[in-house]
Amino acid sequence: MKLKATHHIALLTHNFAEMEKFYSETLGFPITKRWDDIPIIFIDIGSTTIELIGKDRGPVAGSPPGAFEHLALHVEDVDAAYAELVSKNITVTIEPKNFKDIRICFFKDSDGNLIELVQEL
């Protein structure tokens, strides 16, 4: 198998409208595809895409919502991103700190899924 890149991360949710708003309006990520007959949208997050799926609609219907440990976003400046999150009243679970050769910060989306910000030092 020759890997080209990541394509998407599928994320199941019971709060589709709230999650769509969080990723598209609060964080400002563009929606690249929408299927109006079922609650599925694709959200561009830079080098990959989130496939946001409403409960019981995905190819693995019945999987628990939020079935991943965390999503890591590579950012230019963790501290600037942290300040932006705070200005939008997003609760940060781990404030910016250095870890080995990276700077990190963690927060949660509106469904409680953990998101990490990563900056290479």
**Tokens 């990541």 found at:** 6
Q: Domain segments of the chain: what residues?
A: 7-67, 69-121
- Judge whether 50 and 9 are in contact, CB under 8 Å: yes
Tally of CA atoms within 13 A in the half-sphere of 72 that contains its CB: 8
Going by C-alpha positions, the residue among 46, 38, 108 that lies closest to residue 75 is 46
For the entire predicted model, the pTM comes to: 0.74
pLDDT at 85: 95
Q: Higher confidence at residue 56 or residue 111?
A: 111
Instruction: Say yes or no: do domains 7-67 and 69-121 share a fold.
Output: yes
Query: May I ask the CATH class of domain 69-121?
Result: alpha beta
pLDDT at 59: 47
Query: What's the whole-number mean pLDDT along residues 42-62?
Result: 76
Look at residue 105 and give its three-state secondary structure. Answer: strand
- pLDDT reading at 37 higher than 90: no
Q: Higher confidence at residue 79 or residue 11?
A: 79
Going by C-alpha positions, the residue among 88, 6, 81, 91 that lies closest to residue 42 is 6
CATH number of the structural domain 7-67: 3.10.180.10
pLDDT tens digits, 85-99:
999 999 899 999 999
| Parallel, antiparallel or unpaired: strands 49-54 and 40-44 | antiparallel
Going by C-alpha positions, the residue among 43, 45, 40, 33 that lies closest to residue 61 is 40
Tally of CA atoms within 13 A in the half-sphere of 93 that contains its CB: 11
- Judge whether 47 and 6 are in contact, CB under 8 Å: yes
Q: Higher confidence at residue 74 or residue 32?
A: 32
